[in-house]
Amino acid sequence: MTVALVAAVLTGSEQLRSHFVGVASKQGLIDATVTSLTGAIDPALADALAAAPGVAVSELPPRVPEGFAVDPGSPVLRRGVQAGVVSLAKGSTLDTELPTVKTSNLVSVVDPALVADAVDAAPRPTVMLRMEGAPVQDPAVLDGVRAAAAAADVPVAMTEPFSRRADTVAMVERLLANTRMMSLVALVIALVGIANTVFLSWRERRRDRALLNTLGLTPLGSAVVMAVELLLLAVPAAGVGWLVGEWAGGFIVGVAVG
């Protein structure tokens, strides 16, 4: 039973971690944005941000009333958005006649084809950046971007989801670490109980060992016989328990996260 519990916890915790890392990776459609607070962004600042260490892709999209006009398959996006619609930011109250779809993104993105007439005259106050590497990584990856933004001649505002992604993963890691520790404590308690049972069994079978010794079996031989009995009982039970635990852990996580 304890082996099954430990196997279920270890298997389930690993699957949960993978699930929540995936959830954290989807937090934030864009890795970083730097927005000028005085109007259109300075081209020199845009170039400096694009050249900052760790920046893989930069884009300076037009800002239309519906949101940022960004191609649905643009490489600056961590994942593509639906074409032919306005992908509304989380909590957006935008009222538009254009087709819309609600998302959990932090910014609203519109397919440029829907607002082709407004794109050329639209202001471009924001630089969007995609960083190299995975979506979940140390927020220090943005140090170069922060330095470039801090050196700007005009006030700018910066947003980034790396801190939130990292916090989500760290919280999950702490919870899973506590779960693993509790399962290990249960395993230690079970091992103490097993050791006590074996000791009592050894004492109770003293007459059996004495009989075997009179038949020519040495004390060492009788100990080996008992050890073999324990192995034949424990190993299959542990193996079956581990397999059941792996299945149960995966099944429970699957039900929990859908």
> Which residues on neighbouring strands pair with residue 110, listed in sequence order?
69, 86
Q: What share of the chain is helix, strand, coil (3-state, %, to 5)?
A: 55, 15, 30
Highest mean pLDDT among 91-95, 158-162, 176-180, 189-193: 158-162
192 and 143 within one domain: no
172 and 92 within one domain: no
50 and 152 within one domain: yes
129 and 252 within one domain: no
235 CB-contact burial (10 Å; exposed 0-12 / middle 13-18 / buried 19+): exposed
94 and 175 within one domain: no
Rg of the chain (C-alpha set): 31
185 and 134 within one domain: no
Half-sphere exposure of 99 (CA within 13 A, CB side): 8
Q: pLDDT of 11-47, one tens digit each?
A: 777 777 777 777 777 777 888 999 999 888 888 999 9
Q: pLDDT of 77-114, one tens digit each?
A: 988 888 999 888 888 888 888 888 888 788 888 999 89
136 and 41 within one domain: yes
How many domains would you assign to the chain? 2
41 and 151 within one domain: yes
Cβ neighbour number for residue 28 with a 10 Å cutoff: 22
247 and 174 within one domain: yes
115 and 176 within one domain: no
